[in-house]
Amino acid sequence: MRDINFKDAKILIVDDKQSNIDILTSMLEIENYKNVEYTTDPYKVEELMSSFQPDLILLDLIMPGLTGFDILEIIKLKKMNSIFSDNFTPVLVLTADLGTENKQKVLAGGAKDFIMKPFDIIEVSLRIKNLLETKYFYQLLKSRNMFLEEKIIEFLKIKDEWFR
């Protein structure tokens, strides 16, 4: 399989601690990711999702005000009420507190993966690449399905005209 370049992917980081954002943005910069936005204010996530339209969200779980759980719920509601409801935006949860109950709650809430803080930079990098690859294949499959649907419609029109 050819190596796919994800360096233009849009990555949104949401963490209330600037030091965590600094670590992640430095790692992404070293990895040559070009489109990275971040916020320490969880109340800005919905606005950033609309304006930035991220391909991947790196989300802290424990934050004051809105928690990561709240943000997962906002993402789910936004997806349900959007014309882009079939869009796939994976969420990677980064947290220091992830007991069994919270793991289940995070995954049930729509996160696609999680990693414990303090995190290993290489592991985070690999998980980011894996989630971006998953998104790429989702979009590829969606595009091919749309192409096939168009061909089926064309075939049915031709078949209908032939039988007239």
Please report whether residue 2 resides in a domain.
no
Please report whether residue 95 resides in a domain.
yes
Please report whether residue 4 resides in a domain.
no
Reply yes or no on whether the pLDDT at 19 is more than 80: yes
Reply yes or no on whether the pLDDT at 2 is more than 70: no
Please report whether residue 1 resides in a domain.
no
Reply yes or no on whether the pLDDT at 72 is more than 90: yes
Q: What range does the domain containing 14 cover?
A: 10-162
The reported pLDDT for the residue numbered 5 is: 78
Please report whether residue 119 resides in a domain.
yes
- pLDDT per residue as tens digits for the range 80-111: 666 455 678 999 999 887 788 888 999 999 99
Reply yes or no on whether the pLDDT at 53 is more than 50: yes
Two tokens, residue 145: 């399905």
Radius of gyration of the chain (CA): 19
**Quick check: bond before 118 cis, omega within 30?**
yes
CA distances from 141 to 7, 110, 136, 145 (A): 21, 20, 9, 6
Number of domains in the chain: 1
Reply yes or no on whether the pLDDT at 56 is more than 90: yes
The enclosing domain of 98 has a CATH number of 3.40.50.2300
Please report whether residue 3 resides in a domain.
no
- pTM check: above 0.85: no
Bridge-based pairing of strands 10-14 and 56-60 is parallel
The reported pLDDT for the residue numbered 1 is: 44
Ramachandran angles phi, psi of 92, nearest 5°: -110, 115
Neighbours of 105 (CB within 10 A): 16
Reply yes or no on whether the pLDDT at 64 is more than 80: yes
Please report whether residue 58 resides in a domain.
yes
